Structure 1
């Protein structure tokens, strides 16, 4: 079994901003509070625990716990999750958080990996700092509106899709139409105990709940209730009340626009993930989610006839805070206002936009969390690993593009040295001597020497390419076997975790608990490399 380590940096799947963040480059240090190490949480060394504990109001804890109790009122809550909710009222309890969209049937695998990274970090912190409690949080993106991003999942190469119109926050979307999705998925599953388990899980999640938020809570709770996962829906009246002062600041002073743009001016060499708007808020109702725009002294709700004066919109905020929703720039601030949170765990793209926000947190006097890139995983089978061993392919090679793999392995398999660098060097040495002679004689001879040098080097390059092409044909069978496995593990050259759904592996394992147990056992949150897990 290939056992080399593929670091995030060398994988080729992370943007330069994240690579430099993981390398702790000095130019990025002003953009984050503390780097994710176990030591940086240490309360005795003025770490993240001490800072957040000092800055988080005790009254917010009770409101949070009471709101979560209500959110879980119609769900089967495990004892450990119930205890975690109660623990949030105590000053020595903190959260580790990830957020994710309400993807149908969890969507791509990395949804699972994010939550397991959170769970495993809480366990590591508890061992290191036993006098504190650490609660794993999944923040549901119930106020999002990108329905096309979440209305499907892939299973055995087919797109299982929920076709429906959606105009408002997706969490409030009713589950009508999912019966057809269930029928399609059920046919693809085939027979067997695991297939029946998946049918029942889908049915209970989506056909027995009225809206997408409740369906997603049920599903995530079923997977992780025994790990004490607490699921938060930010589309909550009491939690929104805590955020009123920050919404008011945004409406009147457009603070986030100013502060984030200041930060963006310092990192122009990177591709920017998210640009702030003048007002980073939406106005939402069940079937409405539109930007709030400040224009000619009034606040307009985009694509509607709704218009508010300043006093009117502040009155509306105070009476109906649930109608105001933060966008991608302000949502992190909302999260950190209502949670005693120490660390946010996300993918590379998420961490990249969090790195734009620290100055905005500072002006609002809210502690900026530690930012941790989630675990990334490749699930593989014993059969695939055996084939890779026989073909002498390691994981770092498998992460390369197909063209690089073909050329590299062809050269390795060939009995000849396909690299003509040595011959080119000899040729260049000979022409250096001829050039010395040419400089001492007629210019026409110098030109003839130069032309011949170019011709000879070009000829060697062509011979090298022709030999490589010939050797590719000879070793095509072995190369194609490598590429077949490559495509199984990296569909269309995309990371498996960004395409495949957990249900794809239902026929490769005894029970779903065994898949999740393996992930819980193998994922190490603070390690910056891909985890290879055999299923």
Structure 2
């Protein structure tokens, strides 16, 4: 096994916002609290200690124990749940949708990052406990985003009608999915393990939340992972004061709008707030709550309340109120003694929009950490890359740029017209000077001629490059096939490939190898050869 690293900026797959954050650019400082390094967790621990009380811990532990009643979990996970009663225990949290059979690989990387940061903090601050938490996005309703996974170039998809929160979905139709997937797996020992894992998760449970909890627990219980389903009446009772403020005063809307004005001066905006950032939740329904003409309404329904009626309903049935993408982070930080949220670039982008809102409602803002990103190569693939003289920077290039660079490198003729382009520009510089001294009306004609000749030179370069690609077709084919294996669909492997494809190859050593190699505080893209 070997590992190499590449800066996130050099991969070309990460936004300027994320790259600037990793470089701690000063212009981003107003949008987050403490930068993720071990020293900064000292003040984060102190701040969270002052805001998270004993009753909150008691409710959290009680609800977790209820959720784990039917789960055969490890002693370490049970120990971590019990530790949450203690005032010196804090959480490190990641969240993810309930993707079928974990979805793409970065599900694993998020959780491994969370486990490893908890370990690193325990070594640095031994008088405290740090619990890795996976927050299941059971209240999401975007079924089309989670109903499939990719396996060996095929899409394994669960087709069914879906309404309301996905966590409550029955598992109807997954037996047919299992039968199709099972045929693709083969007959190896690792294939049999995956077959049993899918069957146990999805054919032996009643809803998607239970199936996902079972699956994540099997994969990570040895590391003490605690899995939380926040779609829970007992937990939502702790959030009632914030829901009430949201209904009455729309604090999130005003705060996030103000932040967006400042953030959008240099970066794109990930999400836009609504006047009320809450959904109404019941069986087969998750719809936005609106306030119109002094009446609270549920969008696309006949459900409505006066102000006093909705507040009464909130206190009687808090489980009916569901936070959207703006309010969910606040809900998390209210019900968990959390220090850090670990997420992907898109997630961190919307967290940056929330700092002022957290200040407004007087809740500590967590440390934000970009999850580990990984490209996994087999030994055979690594050897081929070496023979073809393809570097890590090469392999991350977009397809056309990758082919063009490698063709130029291996070609026996020089297909780089930069010297000719520079010579042409120098000639026209002299012509511009001549026109300036004689008749300025010719400047436009000179400019047009320059553009025409530069374009012609560029076209000639591309035609020669195209011809050389044909000459080197076999080598180009081998290189592009290798890149396609590592970047399926011209996407990052971690955003496309399901863990089961790698499990077939590496078996039970896959997750321990990730645990061993992923350093959550190393802000570089990891390239592993297993």
TM over 0.5: yes
Counterpart pick for 1:377 among 366, 374, 377: 374
Q: What's the CA shift for 1:471?
A: 2.6
- 1:394 is matched with 391
Q: What's the CA shift for 1:491?
A: 1.2
Q: What's the CA shift for 1:159?
A: 1.5
Residues 144-153 or 19-28, more deviating: 19-28
- 1:155 is matched with 151
- Whether the 8 Å CA contact 2:63–2:234 is kept in 1: the answer is yes
Matched, 1:49 2:45: yes
Q: What's the CA shift for 1:417?
A: 2.9
Mark the runs of 5 or more structure 2 residues left unpaired by the alignment. Answer: none
Q: What's the CA shift for 1:124?
A: 0.8
Matched, 1:195 2:191: yes
- 2:338 is matched with 341
Per-residue Cα deviation, 1:257-316 (whole angstroms, up to 9, x for no partner): 111111111112322111111111111112211111111111111111111111111111
After the TM superposition, which residues 231-310 of structure 1 pair with which residues of structure 2 at under 5 Å, given as runs? 231-269=227-265, 270-310=267-307
Counterpart pick for 2:64 among 42, 65, 68: 68
Give 3-state SS (helix, strand or coil) of 2:290's partner: strand
Give 3-state SS (helix, strand or coil) of 1:488's partner: helix
- Whether the 8 Å CA contact 1:273–1:349 is kept in 2: the answer is yes
Pair 1:24–1:452, CA change in 2 (3 A): closer
Pair 1:278–1:413, CA change in 2 (3 A): same
- 1:490 is matched with 487
- 1:520 is matched with 515
Residues 132-141 or 463-472, more deviating: 463-472
Normalising by structure 1, what TM-score? 0.94
CA–CA separation in structure 1 for the residues paired with 2:189 and 2:249:
58
Q: What's the CA shift for 1:386?
A: 0.5
Per-residue Cα deviation, 1:377-398 (whole angstroms, up to 9, x for no partner): 1111111111100010011111
- 1:324 is matched with 321
Matched, 1:129 2:128: no
Q: What is the RMSD computed on CA atoms of the aligned residues? A: 2.3
Residues 237-246 or 408-417, more deviating: 408-417
Residues 415-424 or 83-92, more deviating: 415-424
Q: What's the CA shift for 1:427?
A: 4.8
Q: What's the CA shift for 1:466?
A: 3.8
CA–CA separation in structure 1 for the residues paired with 2:446 and 2:231:
77
CA–CA separation in structure 2 for the residues paired with 1:2 and 1:410:
28
After the TM superposition, which residues 72-221 of structure 1 pair with which residues of structure 2 at under 5 Å, given as runs? 72-221=68-217
Pair 1:312–1:394, CA change in 2 (3 A): same
Residues 13-22 or 352-361, more deviating: 13-22
Mark the runs of 5 or more structure 1 residues left unpaired by the alignment. Answer: none
- 2:24 is matched with 24
Give 3-state SS (helix, strand or coil) of 2:479's partner: helix
Residues 473-482 or 180-189, more deviating: 473-482
Q: What's the CA shift for 1:350?
A: 0.5
Q: What's the CA shift for 1:419?
A: 2.2
Q: What's the CA shift for 1:464?
A: 3.3
